[in-house]
Amino acid sequence: MIANEYFYGMVPVSIDITNEERTAILREFPVPSLSVAEGGFSIENEVHGNQVRGVTLLLNEFSIERTQGANPKPYFKMKFSNHLGTYSAKMWDNDGAVERYSPLLEEHSVFQVSGKVEEFKSFKSITISELNVIGDDIDPFTLIACTEQSLEDFTVELHHYLSELEEPFRSIGFAGMKRFWQEFRVRPAAMGHHHAYLGGLLKHTVGLMRLARFILKQDENHFKVVLRLINQVEKVYKQELWNDLQSDNPGGSPRNLVWKDSVDHLYSMFYGMAKHRDEKPNVSLLMCAILYHDIGKLMEYHHAGKGTEEFRFLYPTADANSLQYRKPTGITMDELGVLVGHIPYGVMIVGKIIETENINMTLEDIHRLQHAILCHHGKLEWGANIAPKTIEGYLIHIVDYLDSRYERTEEVK
């Protein structure tokens, strides 16, 4: 039995499952061993002016920028990570630092970092004075933030939901997990906005499934349930505004206003749904689309410990030797994946799963399934490949929108 609550206590989560069934799921879909070490450097615990001395960090990415003004000078713009988070940093070109450190940053991944914490408009970063390369005795994978919640519970919950689906969506869902579970269970769902840690994709997917089941199974009228969720967002946003007003720096940190600009958008999506009020949502199709909506992030993101199965699955005839020479990093955009993006990848993957597994389904269902994936960002200017045109298309965007923002309100990853 898994029992808890979600989305400000509105969404009950209760999974009736025996110990034998739980054991069988975890045997077929084992969870990874992630580094959940306690303590260590976190910039959130530091204040402006604090010295950083010899902190071990993983390099995510770096670039050489130039200062503004009549005599621009080069400097490093960098991102580092450890098991507690991701940190922005810069390093000035003092005594030829840019030329001296460039080869080291190109070749190595793990460094001892020294410098000073800076804070500007509630944003903290590190101004680095010294970098020292650390050898191969530290696994870069252990220096990436990961979820602190139970991956076993998320795994059992996900596969329990898949077992509820009607065919052919049940077969499509399990086929994807059997092929990609090794990757799916650890991949992040973002670089910074939400679920930006190992295990984030799994948690995010389960969150959407919880909301979708709540909307479609809590009440015969799913429009009523969506309105209840929007009403909850309004209440929380009003509380955010009040709390921000009482703070020392009202309006100074956007992190205090998670739901800013959300209410009008949710109502606009609700009006879009209303055009399809005579349609009965296909629950199994929606849940399958949720499973695949961000699966393209297997390829869109890169990090230490990432495999290559997903590239080989989509491009079996390609020369993929370059993949084995990639430098381990923290969570970054994949240099190949960014050229395509996770939404097109998701459509490509689900289409090929249907083909390789010889799954028989109607042409209409294939298009509705792929449409839900293509439109889940809701608006073209937000990255959707097409605006929602079905009831499932509107619903997948609404639950994706709600879960991604709710994530930022949770204290525990």
Inter-residue contact 276 to 311 (CB < 8 Å): no
Nearest alpha carbon to residue 243 among 228, 232, 224, 256: 256
Query: Within a 10 A sphere around the Cβ of 83, how many other Cβ atoms?
Result: 22
User: Phi-psi category of 74—alpha, beta or left, where left has phi over 0 and alpha has psi -120 to 50?
Assistant: beta
The SS3 of residue 171 is helix
Domain ranges of the chain: 2-34+147-407, 43-143
DSSP structure string for 29-73: SPPP----------GGG--TT-EEEEEEEEEEEEEEEE--SSS--
Express each pLDDT in 1-37 by its tens digit.
565 789 999 999 988 899 999 999 999 999 988 766 6
pTM: 0.93
The pLDDT value given to residue 360: 96
Query: Within a 10 A sphere around the Cβ of 161, how many other Cβ atoms?
Result: 20
The pLDDT value given to residue 279: 92
Express each pLDDT in 325-359 by its tens digit.
888 899 999 999 999 999 999 999 999 999 999 99
- Please, which residues bridge with residue 78 across strands? 62, 89
The pLDDT value given to residue 121: 79
User: Phi-psi category of 8—alpha, beta or left, where left has phi over 0 and alpha has psi -120 to 50?
Assistant: left
CA torsion sign, 348 to 61 to 381 to 372? positive
pLDDT in tens, the chain (413 residues): 565 789 999 999 988 899 999 999 999 999 988 766 677 899 989 999 999 999 999 999 999 999 988 889 999 999 999 998 899 999 999 999 999 999 999 999 999 999 999 998 778 999 999 999 997 778 888 899 888 889 999 999 999 999 999 999 999 999 999 999 999 999 999 877 678 899 999 999 999 999 999 999 888 899 999 999 999 999 999 999 998 888 777 766 666 789 999 999 999 999 999 999 999 999 999 999 999 999 999 999 999 988 888 999 999 999 999 888 888 899 999 999 999 999 999 999 999 999 999 999 999 999 999 999 999 999 999 999 999 999 999 999 999 999 999 988 765 55
Length of the chain, in residues: 413
The pLDDT value given to residue 254: 62
The pLDDT value given to residue 37: 67
The pLDDT value given to residue 176: 98
Which of the four CATH numbers 3.30.70.920, 3.20.20.10, 2.40.50.140, 1.20.120.350 does domain 43-143 have?
A: 2.40.50.140
Inter-residue contact 304 to 109 (CB < 8 Å): yes
